[in-house]
A and B are shown apart, each in its own frame.
Chain A
Amino acid sequence: MNIRQSVGATRYLGERTPRKENARLLTGRGQFVDDVRVAGALHIAFARSQVARGRIVSIDTSAALDLPGVQAVYTQADFADVPVHFLNYFFTPILAPVTLLADGRVACVGEAVAMVIAESRAIAEDGAALVEIVIEEETPLVTLADAKRGPPVHPGFDDNIAAEMGDEDSILALKDMLKGAAHVVSQRIAHQRIAQSPMENRACLAIPDGAGEMTIHLGCQSPHLAARVLAMSLGMEPAQLRVIAKDVGGGFGLKNIPWREEIATVVAARKFGRPLKWIEDRFEALTASSHAREQDITLTAGFDAEGHLLGAYAEYDSNNGAWPMGEDANIAVHMFMWPAYKLKAYGFVTRGWYTNTMGLGGYRGPWAMESLIREVLLEKAAKQIGIDVIEIRRRNLVTAADQPFTSTLGITVDDITTDACLEKLVAHLDLPKFRKEQAEARKQGRYLGIGFAAYIEPTGSAGSMQPMTGETAQVRIEPTGKVVATLSTHSQGHGTATTMAQVIADRLGVKYEDVAIYEGDSALGAFSPGAGGSRQAVIAGGACWTAAENLADKVRTVAAHVSNASVEAVSIVDGMVHIDGAPEMSRSLREIAEIAYGEPHRLPPGMASGLESQFRYQPPPMTMTSAAHACVVEVNPDTGFVKILRWCSAEDCGTVINPGIVEGQIAGGLAQAIGQVLLEDMPYDAKGNPLAATFKDYLMPAISDVPDFEYLHANTPSQTTGGMRGVGEGGAIVGPPTLVNAIADALAPFGTLGETITLPLTPTRVLGVIEGRDLGGHGETAAAVVEEAPAPVAAAPVAAARIDGSYAMTMKTPMGDQAMTGHFRTDGSALSGELESPEGSQGFTGSVEGNRLKFDLKVEKPMKITLKYDLVVEGDSISGKVKMGMFGSSKISGTRV
């Protein structure tokens, strides 16, 4: 354990310190974007498409412009002169042709077509209702099945595959491998679409000041990241933009980066020259904010006779909608499915698909499907193999003795404690007693069930991909003796002002009440991506830790110097600086500060005046959190209703700064998990209309749906400074399988939940399992898609196509375009040649069929993969694809040189 003894007697680490944020939030004095009032501000409302797919024939804004109080109406044509580079969270360009407002076509219901600027939101809405939009409707693609067979959502695209990774060959290899397995178990889960539903909807107030500068109050998860993304998107200097976000009511991933409406508000404010405010309403939030989940996965795993995992393979599809905040095949689902389990081989294909529905955004534990499908499959397998659900995990979990352990996809874990969390949970629960109760209850027609789930979660990532960086803490003791810290953390409910003040107070030896935290402003502190990826306690916590200790060292040095004592004899307790054995020489921190600021000649020679400390903490690339959960339910066999009776969490989030905040994070994630398993659903009809447009139809978990959770903190410090591990997303990841497994266990006398588990498990679906028949009602919303004739594949083979020669080619990759030169020589149906790139030249052989070239190249760096090229030569141009193992395909184009 690398925690030094506290400097002072008062410990704040690990205490349920009252939150600094509570006073203003609980008395209605928080400052959210809509609370910011600016003189001269105008209000924005959007006229949105009520059609899921079609060509815009005309937009008539004249009636809206005639309405008194309407100041302007913009369409995309008005923004044509403003280039906007839409980026995803990782700063990679969005591939779909996304624009601020619909550009000639609409691709989903709710897409903004026109922006009305008026003196009030009400007038703006009146104006929006007067914008006449004529759209030539086309049949929309709504479901994943539609996407696979329908014409491309985005004209000019080859198909509806938004992103693709993995390799069919890897699945075939696993199928072969599992042929002799004692047990092969499959499970499919269709996860519904989720509306993110933060308490505060999206919001933006853009205030142009002077010469091209702007202050933007934004509902976001990091003002620094938002400012950086806005500057990159708009080609501005970061210093021209100041993003402020004092209080934000929930983010969950939706507010990671500014999206169409927020950027449009900024652009419009520059254009119009007055402050503009857009406050998303709940109807917009439910139907037109980026949605989440909507995934379909099938996992198959093979076991030996004793239940040891042999290998597994999965096929995964996700409905990315029309305008995802980053095309996403969700590789993380596969990366993080198995590092905690001793699986020997894994294969997968994973795809994201475009449809004519609202786009997909990140949502608390975006890869959570890995835990859901794995843990549900494991309990199903245990029942099939005839071993206990705990035992199957004991036989497969990575233990301390197994570590360091590297998963088949290359994730190395060296300090995970999933097995220990599970044992702590099992010891707490008295499972034999429950099984007895369960058997007794069944005799009386009551159906109790217990479900488990164990998982690991990557947290506190830094240094391996944009924008995940370290964090900076600037801590100073003011001349008054009070402590001020300027941080790049951000709280959308996380309570970072509380936890960071606890760390600083603890490490510096001052009172928690004497530490003030400044955050939430891109003009303060240094860059960090704020909330996202369960990172702030880990990284900002480490930064505060070291910055405060360094500052304490300076205080001790100063005190030792002015007291003629040794530094080792100085201690700081509750803001008082003491010298061992000389109580009469104790000084307040204020007295030391007054010397440091006002009488610098009394400082040690060469020491800078003041009491300031700045530290940027770069943690290990990834810090793993582990947990095991259990939940007990009772299912009513007459109504199919599920009642959660008990829920226990045994989590290892390392050093706990504040147990109340850790528990709040877990509980919040679990509430979302309960919503996802039992209640929440954003269905679309066949015309592409979202069907849950109010909270009457979109069922959020209420307090009556969420039990009191039991927390068994099973913490072991991590390898970071301070030893923290992230805990922000875990509940939403481990919660769903825990609850699904409990329901499956309760329903075991009636059979399994089926080959496909479709979420949410509504009373109708649960009762269907009990009754052993489909009770219907969950109609497939697949539109009547006209199967598109397959696009003609290249021209008919050209006899004696002229192929031989050299071509300058460009490969499109997520990291940008890569240039290379290809030299091709044909000899009948044989192909040979070399590919030249900045990394060097590599020879190959392959085949020719008409004008089509196929060849493979094996590369060692950055990892061992085989690149499969498939190119067509037409005249002097060459085009095609290269398949890069699990990293998907890239397009290639080029011309003869």
Chain B
Amino acid sequence: MKPAPFDYAKPATVAEACRILSEAGGGATMIAGGQTLMPLLNLRMSQPFILVDINGIAGLKGVSRGDGGTRVGPATRQSEALRDATLNRHLPAFVKALSHVGHYQTRNRGTIGGSVALGEPAAEMPATAVALGAMIEIASVRGTRTVAAKDFYLGPYMTVLEPDELVTGIVYPDWADGHVVLFREVAQRPGDFALTGLVGAAEVAGDRIARVGLAFFGMGPTPIRMVQAEALLTGAALSSLDVDAVAAAGVADCAPFDDHHASAEYRRLVGKRILAATLREAFNLKVAA
């Protein structure tokens, strides 16, 4: 398990990184924390001609506040994000999900951008970006563009990113103070990818759910935004909420698959249950008799 030979570059600016990516014509791979990439390189499942190390680009690190949202630099370490006061203050759902990513040691190297951009369908951070309505900023020599997280993922490890493109920031919109965090996952061992899991946020005004974002992970080829469940929940009165119907609607958007860790039917059944349990717990609802 030794990587195939590759060249190495450590650009100091986004522009320089974009130039290298462009010149490589698809033969480049970016490395930030390397927690997924290094095993892939060692297994020779990834064989880039050039490895572009983005750790030297100052602008890609850190957390900042902008108009109506929080911007997370893609090269921000997961462990730093977990401790970040701004994220803890404004995006508790993000922090909750992040605490389930990998292990203590891997989070010291792993980055937010790495997890978001890789697009592992059973991972927490892509689903978090989708659920919270994040916008993903992308740069290349051709210019910059911004893509909504819900439109970013195409399939397992497949995203809209072109080979010459680089994620330069992930912007999470603000959720009202005191919003409700929704999170639950079922994984065989701590740090494993989830058999099924969900993440989201909800704003409650009086008895009504004013705004909600919800996504499943491990339930299909991409993180799955629960469009139908969100529609049922938005504007719904908590006192008359049919949680089981919402849970059924949530799973209806999913397309889970069989693997040797769990069957698709298991994922559907348990996905529905954890969604129902999470909503009941979050909104203090009793199980209907």
Interface of A toward B, CB cutoff 8 Å: 120-122, 125-126, 129, 281-283, 638-641, 678-679, 681, 683, 691-694, 696-697, 699, 702, 704-705, 762-764, 767, 771, 775-779
Contacts and interface: CB of A to CB of B under 8 A. Distances in A.
A694 B2 CA distance: 15
Nearest to A121: B2
Interface stretch (B19-27, B162-170, B188-196): B188-196
A281 B43 CA distance: 10
A281 B42 CA distance: 10
Nearest to B103: A702
19 contacts: A122-B3, A281-B1, A638-B274, A639-B186, A639-B270, A678-B188, A679-B188, A681-B260, A683-B260, A692-B260, A696-B192, A696-B193, A699-B188, A762-B261, A763-B195, A763-B270, A776-B264, A778-B263, A779-B258
A135 to B, nearest CB: 20
A641 B264 CA distance: 16
Contacts of B260: 681, 683, 691-692, 697, 762, 777-778
B3 A763 contact: no
Contacts of A779: 258
Nearest to A638: B273
- Dominant secondary structure at the A interface: loop
B189 A704 contact: yes
A282 B1 contact: yes
Interface in B246-281: 258-266, 269-270, 273-274, 277
A129 B266 contact: no
Given A691-B260, A763-B186, 13 more contacts: A121-B2, A125-B4, A125-B44, A281-B1, A638-B270, A638-B273, A639-B270, A692-B260, A696-B193, A699-B189, A762-B260, A777-B259, A777-B262
B269 A767 contact: yes
Contacts of B188: 678-679, 699, 763
B189 to A, nearest CB: 5
A694 B258 contact: no
Q: A-B pairs with the 9 shortest C-beta distances?
A: A777-B263, A122-B2, A281-B1, A777-B258, A764-B266, A775-B265, A776-B263, A764-B263, A638-B273
A764 B43 contact: no
Contacts of B261: 697, 699, 762
A764 B262 CA distance: 6
B178 interface: no
Contacts of B2: 120-122, 125
B155 interface: no
A820 B188 CA distance: 60
Interface residues of B, number: 29
Nearest to B263: A777
Contacts of B1: 125, 281-283
Interface in B1-20: 1-5
Contacts, number: 87
A428 to B, nearest CB: 30
Interface in B38-71: 39, 43-44
Interface of B: 1-5, 39, 43-44, 186, 188-190, 192-193, 195, 258-266, 269-270, 273-274, 277
B247 to A, nearest CB: 12
A568 B254 CA distance: 84
Contact of B5 (A121, A126, A281): A126
Contacts of A281: 1
B119 to A, nearest CB: 16
B266 to A, nearest CB: 4
B262 A762 contact: yes
A696 B265 CA distance: 22
Most buried by B among A639, A691, A694, A696: A639
A777 B264 contact: yes
A285 to B, nearest CB: 10
Nearest to B40: A694
B265 A638 contact: no
Contacts of A699: 188-189, 192, 261
Contact of A283 (B43, B189, B266, B277): B43
Contact of B269 (A694, A705, A771): A771
Given A122-B3, A281-B1, A775 B266 contact: yes
Contacts of A681: 260
A889 to B, nearest CB: 36
Contacts of A679: 188-189
Contacts of A771: 269
B189 A777 contact: no
A121 B269 CA distance: 47
A777 B258 CA distance: 5
A822 B156 CA distance: 69
Contacts of B3: 122
Nearest to B196: A639
A129 B266 CA distance: 39
A736 B5 CA distance: 45
A763 B259 CA distance: 12
Contacts of A691: 260
Contacts of A705: 189
Nearest to B195: A763
A552 to B, nearest CB: 50
Contacts of A763: 186, 188, 195, 262, 266, 270
Contacts of B4: 125-126, 129
Given A281-B1, A702-B190, A704-B189, A694 B195 contact: no
A697 B195 CA distance: 12
A697 B44 CA distance: 17
Contacts of A694: 39, 43
A120 B5 CA distance: 12
A639 B44 contact: no
A702 B266 contact: no
B256 to A, nearest CB: 10
Nearest to A700: B189
Nearest to A284: B1
A762 B270 CA distance: 13
Nearest to A683: B260
A293 to B, nearest CB: 16
B51 to A, nearest CB: 15
A255 B27 CA distance: 41
A283 B44 CA distance: 11
A638 B263 contact: no
Most buried by B among A121, A129, A696, A762: A762
Contacts of A764: 262-263, 265-266
Contacts of B277: 638
B259 to A, nearest CB: 8
Contact of B263 (A121, A126, A775): A775
Most buried by A among B3, B193, B260: B260
Nearest to A192: B260
A678 B192 CA distance: 15
A767 B4 CA distance: 43
A398 B244 CA distance: 55
Nearest to B277: A638
Nearest to B5: A126
Contacts of A776: 258, 263-265
A192 to B, nearest CB: 10
